[in-house]
Amino acid sequence: MRYEIPAPMLAKAAASVPDPAKTTGGLLFEPKWDGFRGLIAWDGETVEIGSRGAKPLTRYFPELVEAIPELLPGPCLLDGEIVVATGREGAQRLDWEALSQRIHPAASRVAKLAAETPAMFIAFDLLAEGDDDLLQSPFRERRDRLEALMAKVEHPLHITRTTTDRDAAVRWLAEFEGAGLDGVVAKPLDQPYAPGKRTLIKVKHARSADVVALGYRIHKSGSGVGSLLVGLYDADGRLHQVGGVAAWSDKRRQELVDELAPLVERDEDGAAVTGESERSRFSGSKDVSFVRLRPERVLEVRYDQLEGDRFRHTVQFERWRPDRDARSCTYDQLDTVAGYDLADVIG
């Protein structure tokens, strides 16, 4: 048999952990793993790993490709998350930076990183087993079969833990962040698998911070502000770029050009001074230049979590803070979370 890898089922955001009593058939809660979404197809002969964006991931994780035929009891199509953990025993956590390094064009580099920072696969759904197509089966049935399939499977393949207890899910939301996870997911037990549809519910960590506007990129259309670059001061008074704010309306992009004009740094000839932000492996040939602003204007943003000294995802604009002095926008205001061993999450 040969499995066709579908588009993954997606989730919509919620502000709080939902009440299972208000959902027909109830909900099953899972930790929200912070990694690469992966759909693994093992047909008894070959292994394929698909991603959320339909990009093949097979070549980037040779250690998983090797382990899957040895550990799985039979052909199947699994949905889950590819993650990398780092840290000493008893204090491990998910490492997004180490995981993102795995997407590399050189086979020699991929092999080296597979040995140095091996990945794990956390399974949370079973879409097919043998000749049985399970897409139309309710999630409670798919979960039961997943548990039976994975009962004796060992590292680096794991099955995510679950609970039907909302109080436990709320506790996970707080505790598991210390292991690098970024929330919880609620899944209706009576629903079939819905490729590409947002029928699941995700609750992520959300916080706010006051940051300094330090520059902006021109919108890809060539007109208006595309994204606003923001920064924070460290304990030594140095300003660091920590992320960006985007998702402005067309009208607002044009307004921002005029509003920010008094802050634009200019050379002796009156021309706007530009800079270039740090490139990442995801930048490619993308233009990373930006118009520099004098670091004087403060804004409040919503963010979910930090990755090192930067915001993990694009942050959301909340409001301007004319009452705040830019120098008061330091890392000290950001929430820190208690450590939590990843091994205790995996169980």
292 pairs with which residues across the strands? 215
**Given 12, 22, 32, 202, which residue is catalytic?**
32
- DSSP H helices in 85-216: 96-100, 107-116, 139-149, 166-175
What's the rounded Cα separation, in Å, for the pair 166 and 159? 20
Which residue from 171, 214, 209 is spatially nearest to 306, judged by alpha carbons?
209
What's the rounded Cα separation, in Å, for the pair 86 and 90? 11
- Given a contact cutoff of 8 angstroms between Cβ atoms, the answer to whether 286 and 297 are in contact is no
How many CA within 13 A on the CB side of residue 296? Answer: 9
How many CA within 13 A on the CB side of residue 189? Answer: 16
Does the annotation mark 32 as catalytic? Answer: yes
Positive or negative torsion for Cα 322, 323, 329, 335 = negative
DSSP state of 312: S
Q: Which residues contact 67 (CB under 8 A, 6 or more apart)?
A: 156, 157
Positive or negative torsion for Cα 27, 196, 55, 129 = positive
What's the rounded Cα separation, in Å, for the pair 225 and 343? 44
Residue 334 amino acid letter: L
Residue 57 amino acid letter: L
- DSSP H helices in 160-313: 166-175, 250-260
Cβ-count burial of 58 within 10 angstroms (0-12 exposed, 13-18 middle, 19+ buried)?
A: middle
- Given a contact cutoff of 8 angstroms between Cβ atoms, the answer to whether 280 and 96 are in contact is no
- Kindly list the catalytic residues: 32
